[in-house]
Amino acid sequence: MLNIFRSSRSNILVWILLGLLIVALTGFGLSGSVSGLSSQNVARVGDEGVESDTFLRALQNEVSRIQQQTGQPIGMAQAQEFGLDRAVLSTLVGLAALDNQTAELGLSVGDTAVREAVLAMPQFASGTGFSQEQYTFALSNQGLTPKEFETDLRKGLTREVLRQSLVSGTEVPAAVIDRILDFSGETRSFSYVALTPDTLSTAPQPPTDAQIQA
């Protein structure tokens, strides 16, 4: 029971830290708007931008996902009514905030990690394993080049490094947990005495001028 409590406290603290990080970076560097799709970026967090192509692709993917779940077609006007555009943009801004932070910290995964991640993805495999043709064809259907995909993949892997470092570095000490549990489980009592004029043996006298001055 105590271990579960400790794990829960640790996870909550991690996501609070991530939330504060995203809010702080977003408030510092967010600019642009969804309506300005003619520009290259629809939003910016620090030095990290959210490109219009990335936003539109993510929005289309979200619309497609919901259409598959509901079996009903959804137009872009309906997507805006449902707030999908704002939800997608909010997600991308959060990712951009993390990317900006990893860049400031100088974090990045190497080419080997990116290559291994690509080779492990089943959507790029044929009957004999990884297929370069399948890889290029699948990315082309999404409007991506291998360079664009691998750049996004590298950022995602780097974000995971940051997340793992936060998770492993914010474990609440056992002594603190014990103190919290002890405090929460304590019972307290108190006694009081009501003092009234009748309680006093002599009536209080008004203070003298010297007493007031002192």
- Please name which of 66, 41, 72, 45 lies closest in space to residue 55, comparing C-alpha atoms: 41
- The angle that helices 146-169 and 2-29 make with each other, rounded to 10 degrees, is 130
pLDDT digits (tens, 9 = 90+) for 133-160: 889 998 888 888 899 899 889 998 998 8
Query: What pLDDT, on a 0 to 100 scale, did the predictor assign at position 112?
Result: 92
Query: What pLDDT, on a 0 to 100 scale, did the predictor assign at position 81?
Result: 86
- The angle that helices 84-105 and 146-169 make with each other, rounded to 10 degrees, is 70
Q: Quote the CA–CA distance of 42 and 92 in Å, as a whole number.
A: 10
Q: Quote the CA–CA distance of 209 and 48 in Å, as a whole number.
A: 72
- Please name which of 173, 125, 151 lies closest in space to residue 51, comparing C-alpha atoms: 151
Phi, psi dihedrals of residue 191, rounded to the nearest 5°: -120, 150
Low-confidence ranges of the chain (pLDDT < 70): 1-39, 169-170
- Please name which of 54, 56, 8, 68 lies closest in space to residue 149, comparing C-alpha atoms: 54
Query: What pLDDT, on a 0 to 100 scale, did the predictor assign at position 35?
Result: 40
Q: Quote the CA–CA distance of 89 and 97 in Å, as a whole number.
A: 12
Give Cβ neighbours of residue 57 (< 8 Å, ≥ 6 apart).
142, 143, 144
